[in-house]
Amino acid sequence: MNMMNPVPLTTEEEKLNVVVKNGGLFTEAHLQTLERLRNFDAHPKIYGSQTSKGVKYSNTTIANIKDVDANNTFFNQLARVGVNPLMKEIREDIYVNGYSLVELPIMVMKTKSGQYKILEGRTRFKILQGLGMKNVIVDVFDEMSDADALRFAVSMNTLKKPFGKADFYDIKKAIMNLIEWGEIPSQPNTEEGKQKLTESIIYELNLITTKLSENQVNLIVFSGIEKGTGVSSVNSFPNGVGSQEWLTKNGYVDTREIKYVAVSNIIAKLPMVMVNNLKKVSSDVSEIRFVVNGGVLDAKNPAKDWLTKVLAFDELFKNYEDSWIDARFTENSKRKSDTKVKLWGAIPQVKDLEDKYPMDTIVKFKHN
């Protein structure tokens, strides 16, 4: 699309989309159009009964660009790990099609100094500023604490756009900040302390969004417990990431005769993983040792989850193995390879079990 020669808007479109240009201005007519189109009842988390702690809408107005502080210390991308990944596309859309008055406006809080600090809409503001607009329509909220502003900003980021990988890291960063600021109190490294942190973190997550998967919630909780107690209590391997590295780090390296392979505790997938690895190894390898990891454990009771789903995996897999693997490892009643395939053990993941299952040693299954 040609950014230098945007297609002119029709008269009707111009009522809903403001032409953005150097020296351009939003007018009272634009403000009235936005307010006429907006339905407050459709946004209870912003204007109604579901607003988060400390959030109070005041009014909608037109603010001079120079009165809006988009680079303050607090909001120097604090609500995001990085810049909006769609910034280029958003800029092109605004430049070509105009600024939409159908969307909710940029949201700011007014400080005692009279300055406006952006809560939501920093990307749009930067684009309007960069294209030379002299003012902007804003929703004004009463001044709030840094923690309340962060909760609101991250919640808005996840509320209005497709939920993706970046959102998870934004939310995780917000929780870490809330712990650092004492909004989520640090706790001693005890069962009671970790339980309190877990409950507090899940409470905060529910205030921010309901879009996280169970695994994502557990990952944030474990990171929060580590930050809030100062102790790493659980090893996580989301989708198996990091499990093979754990083996190498702890001395389980391949030799000419023995190969170690980290696998997930998904019974239905393991036979094919075993078969595929057997096909790939050279004839020199006498044994492949498969080591199970539990991925991301249940944050509410990681010890029980690991004991049930990982330590007991060899027993769970035994019946499946007998009926499934042999047919694929043999051909015309002859074994396709002399390499032995063994479900060797499990990667320890829970520090509370360290006395019995040290965190740097594979827990061998009983039949080995």
Q: What is the pLDDT of residues 123-144, one digit of tens each?
A: 899 999 999 999 999 999 999 9
Among 85-89, 167-171, 192-196, the minimum mean pLDDT is found in 85-89
pLDDT (0 to 100) of residue 73 = 46
For domain 11-143, which architecture applies? Alpha-Beta Complex (3.90)
**50 pLDDT band (50/70/90 cuts)?**
confident
pTM of the model: 0.78
What is the secondary structure of 225-244 as a DSSP string?
HHHHHSS--B---GGGTTHH
Helix, strand, or coil (residue 341) = strand
- Of residues 147, 149, 299, the one with CA closest to residue 213: 299
**162 pLDDT band (50/70/90 cuts)?**
low
Cα(294)–Cα(266) distance, integer angstroms: 9
- Of residues 78, 80, 106, the one with CA closest to residue 158: 80
Q: Is the pLDDT of residue 153 over 70?
A: yes
Q: Is the pLDDT of residue 117 over 60?
A: yes
Delimit the domains of the chain by residue range: 11-143, 162-229, 238-364
pLDDT (0 to 100) of residue 71 = 64
Cα(52)–Cα(341) distance, integer angstroms: 54
For residue range 249-296, what is the model confidence (pLDDT) as tens digits?
A: 999 999 999 999 999 999 888 888 888 888 888 888 999 999 999 999
Cα(95)–Cα(115) distance, integer angstroms: 27
Cα(12)–Cα(160) distance, integer angstroms: 26
Q: Is the pLDDT of residue 367 over 60?
A: yes
Supply the mean pLDDT for the chain.
86
